[in-house]
Structure formats: structure tokens, C-alpha cells
Amino acid sequence: MLRPVDGSSTLEKAGKLIVLDIDNTVFNWVEYYVSCMDALARTVAFIIGSTPETLFHESRVIFEKEGSIEYPFLVQELPTVMQYYGSDIERMLREAVEPGRMAFNAAAKKTLVPYAGVMETMQTIKQRWPQIPVVALTDAPRYVAMWKLNKLHLLPFFDAVYGLPDPRIPADIKSQKVKVDPEILMKHLQKSNFDFAGRIRVLPDDYEKPGTKGLKTVLMDFEMESHLKDVLWVGDNLRKDVGLGKRLGVHTGWARYGTAIQDASKKLLLEFSPQNNVAKNVALDPASQDTPQPDFVLETFADMIPAIEKLLTP
């Protein structure tokens, strides 16, 4: 059930804009990404005679350098992989990168799924309130975010997607040859929008949450700066998402269901990603009295419906 934190039964005015975080709000990012990275590391380690632990250790450095835990060209940048193949980039792409990518995608087919009730709830929102735009605001790279939403079959429910810059294309230092399969490279260079008809905005890196610039940009684009109480912003992270919403004065919902993380998954996640990168995608700290308090606590994604109804109550 949706629970107003302050005990009130209604909010003030009709909602005119819905802004959603993606990771751990519309799907379980932790279980998805941990399972995919585990499959990738095990596959590549077996091929080159290394260990997943070694590749995880090297991944931490690369993720920190790239500023994103979701860097799609990880394998060809791993020192152990580079040392194994030397200057033979074609062989590396064929023998290690492609099998690693396939292992990642195979795991994604099983774990990249919406939370229970998300699809039905998004359908209900679009049917009952087609005039209210639904916007995705994420700290993931724009291309990666749209790839995930497309795989989740949720992209058509959004009117706009706001994400961070797309990933850097890796190249060999000596030869300057791009270390990406031509077909994959073309997809990234074309900056595929997956036939998305809505607005796409790539935000600068310094617009990352919990800074306010990203959400402010959304509000400006939809001309909502003077109608903050007509905006519903929902995310899973109390400090980043709820704190951001409270600072700007929009109605804020906390997707508490998104904080349920299995201990084994948390442990593995911290093996291949530095703490500051993990914080972009998942809240590892428990709620406490000094954390920002949301207007609503959502126990399931379906609680979006009563949240919107309360926003529409005069």
C-alpha cells in the first residue's frame, strides 16, 4: 500500500508531470547487473586462463576511470585481456569480447525484467492519464539507459529520456585502431534511439544526481519550474533521489521495494565496482532519521496509481 509519510490523506494539486528513476525503480538493477557481470567474467576468465576475481579487480579501476559502472567496452580494456592478446585486436574481439558479450546478454534475458506490476501500471497510467508526460531521468549513459528500457519493453511508455553522455569508444594506444567490432561500433556511432518517438536529452556529467541540474532541466523543458507541486518524482535512493526532490520542492516518492538487495549480490557487486560508482545505481545505506523523508513510500510499483490519484485531488 502507498503510505503518506506525514499521515496526510491527500496532496495538494493535480499532477502534470511524472519523472521516474530507472535502476531499482522500474527493474531490479542489482540482480540484473551482478548476474550479467558474473557470467561475463567467468566466460572471459575461462577463455584466457585467468580468474573472475582478477577480472573483477581490474574492472574496478576501469569503472572508476570511465565514471560509470555500465561501461559496455569493459572486456577489451581489461589489462589481463590486453596482455593475453597483445596487438591482435581482431582475435581479442573474436575470442574474448564477443563471447563475453553473448554471456552478458544471455544472463540479461533471465534477469533484465520489470518489477512485478510495472508493465500493467505503466499501461494504466497511459490509459487513464494520457495527458501527463512520463519522463525517465537516470545517471546511466543515455544509450545504455535506452537499451535497457527497450529490452524491458517499457520505452514506449515514456515521453522523454534524460541520461548522461554515451560511453567512450576504446582504441589501441599504439595503432589507434578502434577496439570494437564494426557492427557494434556502428550501433554506438549511430546513437540508436530504438525508434523512440519522444524527447532524448544527453546531460553533462556534472548533472548527475544528487545534484539538481538534471531534474531542473526536465522541469524547464516541460515548463514546470513554477508548478513544482504538480510534479511527481520517484526513485529508490533516499539520499540521492528523495533528497533531490525535497531540495527542489517537487512531490517525491520513495521506491522502497528497490532497496531490497540480497547479501550475496551486494558482496559480488562491491567486488567489481568502486563504492562511489555503486552509489550511482543503488542505495547501500539503510534509512535513518537524518535521511531525507519522502512524501510517499511506495511498497510496490503499483503504488504509483494512488500516488497520481492523490496528486490529482484538488
Mean pLDDT of 197-216: 94
Q: Is the residue at 142 inside a domain?
A: yes
Structural domain contains residue 201: yes
Above 80 in pLDDT, residue 13? no
Residue 44 included in any domain: no
Residue 24, classed as helix, strand or coil, is coil
Q: Is the peptide bond before 210 cis (omega within 30 degrees of 0)?
A: yes
Could you give the number of structural domains in the chain? 1
Please choose, from the candidates 68, 41, 67, 46, the residue with its C-alpha nearest in 3D space to the C-alpha of residue 56: 41
Amino acid 233 reads W
pLDDT of residue 193: 86
Domain contains 52 = no
Output b/e per residue, 134-164; b: 16+ Cβ within 10 A.
Answer: bbbbbbbbbbbbbbbbbbbebbebbbbbbbb
Listed in order, strand segments (DSSP E) in the chain are 3-4, 17-20, 134-141, 160-164, 199-202, 231-235, 251-255, 296-298
Instruction: Give the pLDDT confidence of 81-122 residue by residue, as tens digits.
Output: 999 999 999 999 999 999 999 999 999 999 999 999 999 999
What pLDDT shows up at residue 281? 59
pLDDT tops 70 at residue 145: yes
pLDDT digits (tens, 9 = 90+) for 62-86: 999 998 889 999 999 999 999 999 9
Grid coordinates of 148: 535497457
Using the structure block, give the residue that is written with the C-alpha cell 556502428: 186
Averaged pLDDT score across all residues of the chain: 89
**211-233: average pLDDT:** 95
For residue 18, the model assigns a pLDDT of 97
Q: Is residue 77 part of a domain?
A: no
Alpha helix (H) residue ranges in 160-208: 182-189
**114 forms bridges with which residues in the sheet?**
27
Instruction: Give a yes or no: residue 85 inside a domain.
Output: no
CA end-to-end distance (rounded Å), the chain: 22
What percent of the chain has a predicted confidence (pLDDT) above 70?
A: 90
**Residue 182 in grid coordinates:** 564494426
Range 13-30 average pLDDT: 86
Q: How far apart are CA 241 and CA 251, in angstroms?
A: 11
Task: Give the CATH number, domain containing residue 226.
Answer: 3.40.50.1000
Q: Is the pLDDT of residue 35 over 80?
A: yes
> Buried (b) or exposed (e) across 258-272, using 16+ Cβ within 10 A?
bbebeeebeebbebb
Domain that holds residue 303: 3-29+114-311
Mean pLDDT on 248-257: 95
- Looking at the chain, the whole-number percentage of residues with pLDDT higher than 90 is 74
Q: What is the pTM of this model?
A: 0.89
Q: What are phi and psi of 234, to 5 degrees?
A: -130, 130
**pLDDT-wise least confident of 10-14, 46-50, 96-100, 246-250:** 10-14
Residues paired with 233 in a beta bridge: 19, 252
Q: Give the mean pLDDT of 189-204.
A: 89
Residue 130 lies in a domain: yes
Quick check: helix, strand or coil at residue 100? helix
Residues whose CB is less than 8 angstroms from the CB of residue 200 and which lie 6 or more positions away in sequence, other chains included? 142, 146, 160, 161, 193
Mean pLDDT of all residues in 131-151:
95
Please compute the mean of the pLDDT values over residues 8-23 and round it to a whole number. Answer: 65
Question: CB-side exposure of 304: number of CA atoms within 13 Å?
Answer: 31
Average pLDDT over residues 25-47: 97
In whole angstroms, give the CA distance from residue 205 to residue 215: 13
> Does residue 46 form part of some domain?
no
Query: Over the stretch 253-298, which tens digit does the pLDDT of each residue have?
Result: 999 999 998 999 989 999 998 877 666 556 665 555 567 889 999 9
